[in-house]
Amino acid sequence: MFDVILLAVDGSKQSPYVADLACQLAKDQTSAVYVTCCIDESYALEDNGDEPGEIVDYPPAEEEQNTARAVVAHAMVKLRQAGINARGNLIVGAAGEALVAEAARINASVIVIGHRQLSDFSRMMKGSVSADVIEGSPCPVLVEVRGN
């Protein structure tokens, strides 16, 4: 049914539920699952436009990228143990927009994402990533709400 699944993980307590949902979708199929974590542009070390030869030493960015890599790797272990074809990647940008662009780039047939219960203040300040993805997605979006 879904041959290309974009699984968005962020390391929140909901991430294991989102990975489980992707496993359920991909199980017994030949689906490819792209496990994706988004990094804010201000913390991206790669493709940041630095001059060749310039050395960038920004420990918070290194920590952010290492954490994102670990989140992706953790989800991939779960998927691969279930016999699912999984690939991992990090994307850069505002999470909602970057996930929508990535879904279009890989021709995703579905996006699997979590939804956190934000306070009114947090929603006003940061916005809702899942709402942004739903609004702009080129494919269906499956939103996991367990684990909130």
pTM: 0.84
Confidence band for 48, pLDDT divided at 50, 70 and 90: very low
Q: Name residues whose C-beta falls within 8 Å of residue 99's C-beta, 6 or more positions apart in sequence.
A: 6, 8, 36, 38, 91, 111, 113, 129, 133
- Ordered by start, the domain boundaries in the chain are 4-144
Confidence band for 42, pLDDT divided at 50, 70 and 90: confident
Confidence band for 44, pLDDT divided at 50, 70 and 90: confident
pLDDT in tens, 111-144: 999 987 655 555 454 568 888 999 999 999 999 8
Distances, alpha carbon 82 to alpha carbons 76, 98, 104, in Å: 10, 28, 26
pLDDT in tens, 74-105: 999 999 999 999 999 999 999 999 999 999 99
Closest CA to 15 of 147, 143, 140: 147
pLDDT of residue 46: 56
Domain spanning 4-144: CATH 3.40.50.720: no
Percent of the chain with pLDDT over 70: 81
Contact between 108 and 89 (Cβ < 8 Å): no
Confidence band for 49, pLDDT divided at 50, 70 and 90: very low
Contact between 45 and 61 (Cβ < 8 Å): yes
pLDDT in tens, 4-29: 999 999 988 888 999 999 999 998 77
